[in-house]
Amino acid sequence: MRKLFLLAAFITTATGVAQTASDSISQDPQLQINAAQRLLSGNYGKAVTVGAYGEVTYNQPQGDNGELDVQRLVLLFGYKFNEKTQFVSEIEVEHVEEIFVEQAFVNYAVGDNVSLRGGLMLVPMGIVNEFHEPTTFNGTERPAVDNVIVPTTWREIGVGVTGRFPTISLGYQAYVFNGFKSTVSDGEDGITGFLKGSSGLRGGRQKAIKSTVDSPTFASKLDYYGIPGLRLGLSGYFGQTQAADDIEEMEGANIGIAMLGFDARYAYQRFTARGQFIYASLSDTEAYNVNTGNDLGSALMGYYAELAYNLLPLTKQQRLFVFGRFEQYDTHADTAGDLMRNETYDRTDITTGLSYHIAPGVVLKGDYQFRSNAAEDVEVDDRLNFGIGVWF
C-alpha cells in the first residue's frame, strides 16, 4: 500500500500535472459534476490530471461502542491522449485494507455534445451512485436507499454513449453492461445464491473481478436542466442476472431485473432540496429462492426527501448546511410464491444534522439518525455519526 501512495506522489511531482479545481461542490445542481467529469474537464492543457477524495467516519449506535473508520480513500488519475480521447481511473482503498478499481474507462468525444465510452463505469441510477464524493451529499453516511436499493457504488464493465441535446436542455447516457452475478454451483447438485432479502441486489455486484456474462444488461438515464436551479433525472436498468456456466440452464439460476428511478435536485439562494424514488421488479424469484434457500423479494422500493438550508451568508466562502432527510426503503416490497414478507426489511430512517464546508473541498459532518422498521417486536438502534470528507 505504501508503494501505491509513493507512486501517486511521484507522478504528481515528476510529470508537471494539473490538479483538478479545488471547489468540489456547487450549490446549483445544474453545475454539479462528479470525479470522472472533473478529470475529463480539468486537464488545463496538461496530459495528466490527478485528484483524490476520501472520508473518515465515526458511527455510534445507541447503547453500543462507537466505530472509527477510514471508510475510503480514492486516488483519481486521468490522461488526455489528444483532444478527443481521454482515460479516467479511480483506485479505491476501503477501510485501509482493501483495494478496488472503481472506474477505468476510455472516453472518445465524437462531437461537441456526444462521447463514446468503454470500460469499467458507474451505472447511472439515482443521484449518489454517480455523485458519491463526500462533499456532494449531506449526512456522514450516504442515504440508505443508495446502499440497499441502489447498491452504491454500483459499477460494471460496458460500452455506451453519453451526451446532451443543448436546444432542449437534455442530457443522456445509454450503456450495455454485464449484469449482477446471481448463482454458482455449490458442488452438491445445488446452487448458492448471492442475492437475498436483507440486502437485495448488493451481493451480486461483480465489480469487474473476473466478471461473468451470458446476457448483457441495458442502463440509461435522462437529465433535464431547462428550469433554473432544477435538475431532474429519469433512470432505467433492464436485463438478466448472470449465472455460472454449469448451472445457467437450471430453473431459478437467473432472475430478471427491471429497475426505474426518478430523482430531483433544486437550489435557490441558501435553500436546497433533493429526493429520489427507486423501484425494481424481479422475476423468477420463486424458483431462485426454492433452489438457493434465500429469501429474495420480487420487488424492491425506496425513496427519500431531503431539505437543507445554508446558515451562512452567500457572500461567505464557507457554508453551513442544516438538513433533514426522510427515507423509507423495503427490500420485500413484494414477494412471490410462499415467501412471506419480512417486515424487518421495511425500514425508515430520519436523519438530521449539519454539513460545515470549511473550505472548498473540505467538509465536517455531524448527524443523528432515528431508525426503525415495520416489525413490532424488532427494534433498530438509533445512531450518532460524525465525519470528515475531502475532495480535490
The answer to whether the CB of 243 falls within 8 A of the CB of 284 is: no
Q: How far apart are CA 144 and CA 304, in angstroms?
A: 9
The answer to whether the CB of 326 falls within 8 A of the CB of 139 is: no
Q: How far apart are CA 79 and CA 43, in angstroms?
A: 8
Q: Which three-class secondary structure state does DSSP give residue 139?
A: coil
How far from chain centre, in Å, is Cα 40? Answer: 19
Which pLDDT tens digit goes with each residue over 171-209? Answer: 999 999 999 999 998 777 678 999 999 999 999 999 999
Q: How far apart are CA 250 and CA 180, in angstroms?
A: 17
Q: What is the pLDDT, as a whole number, of residue 28?
A: 87
Which pLDDT tens digit goes with each residue over 10-44? Answer: 344 333 333 444 445 567 898 889 999 989 887 66
Nearest Cα residue to 256 out of 305, 201, 210, 309:
201
Q: What is the pLDDT, as a whole number, of residue 381?
A: 94
Residue 156, domain extent: 2-391
Residue 196's beta-bridge partner residues? Answer: 200
Residue 8 confidence (pLDDT) above 60? no
Please compute, for residue 306, the number of CA atoms within 13 A of its CA located in the half-sphere on the CB side.
Answer: 32
Q: What is the CATH number of the domain that holds 267?
A: 2.40.160.10
Amino acid at 379: E
Residue 312 confidence (pLDDT) above 80? yes
Distances (CA, A) of 363 to 44, 89, 354, 355: 26, 24, 10, 7
Higher pLDDT, 214 or 194: 194
Q: How far apart are CA 280 and CA 149, in angstroms?
A: 8
The answer to whether the CB of 163 falls within 8 A of the CB of 213 is: no
By CB neighbour count within 10 A (0-12 exposed, 13-18 middle, 19+ buried), where does 314 fall? exposed
Q: What is the pLDDT, as a whole number, of residue 16?
A: 38
Residue 134 backbone dihedrals phi, psi, to 5 degrees: -65, -20
Q: What is the pLDDT, as a whole number, of residue 187?
A: 73
Residue 119 confidence (pLDDT) above 70? yes
The answer to whether the CB of 56 falls within 8 A of the CB of 388 is: yes
Q: How far apart are CA 78 and CA 295, in angstroms?
A: 42
Rounded to an integer, the average pLDDT of 122-150 is: 96
Residue 76 confidence (pLDDT) above 50? yes
Q: Among residues of the chain, what percentage have pLDDT more than 90?
A: 80
Work out the mean pLDDT of the chain and round it to a whole number.
Answer: 91
Which pLDDT tens digit goes with each residue over 236-292? Answer: 999 999 988 888 888 888 999 999 999 999 999 999 999 999 999 999 999 999 999
Residue 338 confidence (pLDDT) above 80? yes
H or E segment to which residue 367 belongs: strand 362-373
Considering its fold, how many domains does the chain have in total?
1
Which pLDDT tens digit goes with each residue over 349-383? Answer: 999 999 999 999 999 999 999 999 999 888 899 99
Tell me the pLDDT band of 103, cut-offs 50, 70 and 90: very high
Tell me the pLDDT band of 1, cut-offs 50, 70 and 90: very low
* pTM listed for this prediction: 0.90
The answer to whether the CB of 157 falls within 8 A of the CB of 181 is: no
Q: How far apart are CA 293 and CA 288, in angstroms?
A: 8
Amino acid at 327: E
Which residues, other chains included, contact 171 with Cβ-Cβ below 8 Å and sequence gap of 6+? 162, 163, 164, 165, 222, 223, 224, 225
The vertex-49 CA angle with 89 and 5, nearest 5°, equals 70
Q: What is the pLDDT, as a whole number, of residue 7?
A: 44
Nearest Cα residue to 249 out of 205, 185, 336:
185
Residue 293 confidence (pLDDT) above 80? yes
Please provide the DSSP assignment of 19-54 as one string.
EPPS----SSTTT---HHHHHHH--TT-SEEEEEEE
Nearest Cα residue to 204 out of 145, 196, 289, 218:
196
